[in-house]
Amino acid sequence: MIEIKRVYEPATPEDGVRILAERLWPRGMKKEDAKLDHWFKDVAPSTELRKWFSHDPAKWSEFQERYWAELDQHPEAWGLILDAAKKGKVTLLFSSHDVDHNNVVALKSYLKEHSSKH
């Protein structure tokens, strides 16, 4: 099972394996406070795509398409997440203020689509 959560929310035992899926470290967050199991920078969108998107909801559909195309090229980056999810709960962590339009929302959708193929 894969869930998503802002990295700034307190960690709980129900989170299972906590994976930060961001290329940049979250602003103002101390590493010890994040209580991460993993930080997968390579599963995050490229710097160019992140800057292009700039958290603009009007670009959401195209962002997802472009991001999924990047993920298609790097199954090694996201395959580990699916492997962990087969063993138990995984919580993907993000730092964006927008809880509906961010890379982890798009990543979770992508992983759901690919879970049966992995």
Contact call for residues 23 and 90 (beta carbons, < 8 A): no
Q: How many Å apart are CA 46 and CA 105, to the nearest integer?
A: 16
Tokens of 31: 């590493």
Model-level pTM?
0.92
Q: Is 94:103 a contact under the CB 8 Å cutoff?
A: yes
Beta bridge partners of 93: 5, 20
List, for residues 67-91, the tens digit of each pLDDT value: 999 999 999 989 999 999 999 999 9
CB-CB contact of 8 with 95 (8 Å): yes
Q: What's the average model confidence in pLDDT over 2-12?
A: 96
pLDDT (mean) for 42-50: 96
